[in-house]
Amino acid sequence: MHVLIVEDDSPLAASIATAMQARGWRADVSDRGEPVPASLLQDAYDALVLDIGLPGIDGLETLRRVREQGSLLPVLMLTARDEIDDRVRGLECGADDYLVKPFAIRELLARLSALVRRQDQRRSETLILSALRFDAAARRAHVNEQPITLSARECIVLQYLMLKTSHIVTRDQLAGLVPGWAAGTSENALELLISRLRAKIEPGGVRLRTVRGLGYLLEPAVPE
């Protein structure tokens, strides 16, 4: 397992990293939130441990930026604040779990393992919408029980859209899913991918709409 630890308390970050390495995990450490979104695009991490009280942009803003670029990575937040409002804000920003300092590192490892297991189960799900079926583990899609051919990028985008069925997904979120796309993806390139994907999946009784000025929306087609 590969984990990114974002914590400005150097002794604590080192202790967490050492405990992870003792389990055979890989652990990278950062003391600031600004580089995190780019780091998650560059490396295949399995989880993020994120402190709220960071210098510069704090953990909540870091998490908001991570989720805005479409990342579904499991995130465990660390906080010295024991206020209900702070915990709620963290969960609303997209955190999967949190620990209040001080904590036992053994508990952190256990919670992190549970989050990653749940994410692995989610990735192996078969997602179904009308007559469209996507096998996330095999990266294969079927329409009316007939296989359709998807590119690697189309698979990534389709899985995210199906996980967000009936919710608007922004262009930035979709661009952020594809390595190398977030910084320089033209609107035309993304629209072309969506157009190709739409032609392949809409015979399955679904509708992939472009919502002007906002993004894209995958939903069941309304019978005429």
Global pTM reads 0.62
The CA distance from 61 to 148, in Å, is 39
Q: Can you tell me the mean pLDDT for 94-109?
A: 91
3-state secondary structure the chain: CEEEEECCCHHHHHHHHHHHHHCCCEEEEECCCCCHHHHHHHCCCCEEEEECCCCCCCHHHHHHHHHHCCCCCCEEEEECCCCHHHHHHHHHCCCCEEEECCCCHHHHHHHHHHHHHHHHHHHCCEEEECCEEEECCCCEEEECCEEECCCHHHHHHHHHHHHCCCCCEEHHHHHHHCCCCCCCCCHHHHHHHHHHHHHHHHHHCEEEEEECCCEEEEEECCCC
What pLDDT does 153 receive? 85
| Maximum Cα interatomic distance, the chain, rounded to a whole number of Å | 63
What pLDDT does 184 receive? 52
Do 200 and 150 form a contact (C-beta atoms < 8 A)? yes
Do 133 and 120 form a contact (C-beta atoms < 8 A)? no
The CA distance from 48 to 33, in Å, is 11
| Structure confidence by residue, pLDDT tens digits, 2-19 | 999 999 999 999 999 999
Give the relative orientation of helices 59-68 and 84-92 as an angle to the nearest 10 degrees.
20
pLDDT at 216 over 60: yes
pLDDT at 40 over 70: yes
What pLDDT does 55 receive? 93
Give, in degrees to the nearest 5, the angle at Cα 174 between 172 and 179. Answer: 95
40 or 124, higher pLDDT: 40
Token couple for 122: 């989610």
| Structure confidence by residue, pLDDT tens digits, 158-212 | 988 998 888 888 887 787 776 556 545 567 888 899 999 999 999 999 999 999 8
| Structure confidence by residue, pLDDT tens digits, 45-98 | 889 999 999 999 999 999 988 887 777 789 999 988 666 677 777 777 778 888
Domains, the chain, ranges and CATH? 2-123 (3.40.50.2300), 126-220 (1.10.10.10)
